[in-house]
Amino acid sequence: MNLYLPPDYRPMLPTEGMEDAIKLLKQTFQAELAEALSLRRVTAPLFVFADSGLNDNLNGVERPVSFPIKDMGDRRAEVVHSLAKWKRMKLAAYRIPAGHGLYTDMNAIRADEELDNIHSLYVDQWDWERTIRPEDRTVEFLSDIVRRIYGALLATEAVTHQAFPHIPPTLPREITFVHAEELRAEFPDLSPKEREREAARRYGAVFIRGIGGPLFDGSRHDGRAPDYDDWSTPTPDGLNGLNGDILVWNAVLDAPLELSSMGIRVDPEALLRQLEMTGCMDRLALPFHRALAAGEMPPAVGGGIGQSRLCMYLLRCAHIGEVQAALWPEVMVARCAEAGVTLR
């Protein structure tokens, strides 16, 4: 269990006022996001069939919560880790044209999560997906999408400050773009997480591109599943990848905070390349992967944005358990209570 308790921490809002603040922030951000990216809300599943290939494999080692369905001959279902692949399938099913997309209120259980200030067993995020044109698969287009999302973050921060004047805005006006290889070259002796810390502290808000693929020294900044984000396509700058993470500097925790993981999705060529690179060619037997390899899925960009993480950041909370109800180790609950941090 990792836990950091800021010295002299005091919540910015009383417990009874936190729910109203969370409601305001969530309503504001999802409206801003929907307008910025031309998205419409759709209802999302809590679980999918285990044999469909639709669940998110995350870093490839996390075990999904699964169960047999009695009325379907004990066919197994899995509680979703995210809806990365499900959303793209729905773009095709709903025939959503380029320039438009969908978003969901996604709820997930990640039973193997290592619990700390920002990681919970319960994940709530806005999962979104947008149809694009084949010619939009560029770094420039990806950067434009990132700026639109960041604009929604800035607008939500402004509403937060208006509602709670004692919470000052801290986000920089612009987000900085950097590739994971550039961070490795600048900080070769630091771990990827330490590089993220340096970048977030320096810039305040940063988009780190190329997460998941091998860097020039053969290492990877972090793991990514091979079947949704495109982390391998070469780009004109001599680097690879059309995906990344949005991180901000969290002054309360004196640490970086990842708010979003996103990217342009794999096309058939990138899918086959990444499945081969990761030794996952067997996934081509699954319905989703067969359809994608056959070119039956629209080109897309998408990602997830943490709801509770955004709330804890904008409300200057020290622990994600202050803005969501989940299960925590008893020792964590007790230590937090001693430090004035009330977990729900």
pLDDT band at 62 (very low <50, low <70, confident <90, very high): confident
The predicted model gives 250-256 an average pLDDT of 97
* Per-residue pLDDT at 60: 60
Domain hosting 181: range is: 15-338
Please report the pLDDT score of residue 13 as a whole number. 93
In a domain, 23, yes or no: yes
Burial of 266-303, coded b for 16+ CB within 10 Å and e otherwise, reads bbeebbbbbbeebebeebeebebbeebbeeebbbbbbb
Does residue 212 lie in a domain region? Answer: yes
Residue 6 forms part of a structural domain: no
Active site residue 30: no
Which of 30, 82, 120, 125 is labelled catalytic?
A: 125
Known active-site residue 245: yes
Question: Of 120, 260, 261, 324, which is the active-site residue?
Answer: 261
66, part of any domain: yes
pLDDT digits (tens, 9 = 90+) for 288-332: 999 999 999 999 999 999 999 999 999 999 999 999 999 999 999
In the predicted model, what is the mean pLDDT of the chain? Answer: 95
Predicted confidence band of residue 2 (pLDDT cuts 50, 70, 90):
confident
**Of 61-70, 290-299, 328-337, the least confident:** 61-70
In total, how many domains does the chain have?
A: 1
User: Looking at the domain assignment, is residue 5 inside a domain?
Assistant: no
110 is known as an active-site residue: yes
Catalytic residue chosen out of the listed positions 32, 56, 129, 136: 56
> How much is the pLDDT for 266?
97
Q: Is residue 39 part of a domain?
A: yes
Model confidence at 51, in pLDDT bands (50, 70, 90)? Answer: confident
Does 76 map to a domain? yes
Residue 344 lies in a domain: no
Look up 82 and say whether it is catalytic: no
Question: Cα torsion at 60, 64, 70, 74 (round to 10°)?
Answer: 20
**What CATH number does residue 58 fall under?**
3.30.930.10
pLDDT of residue 56: 73
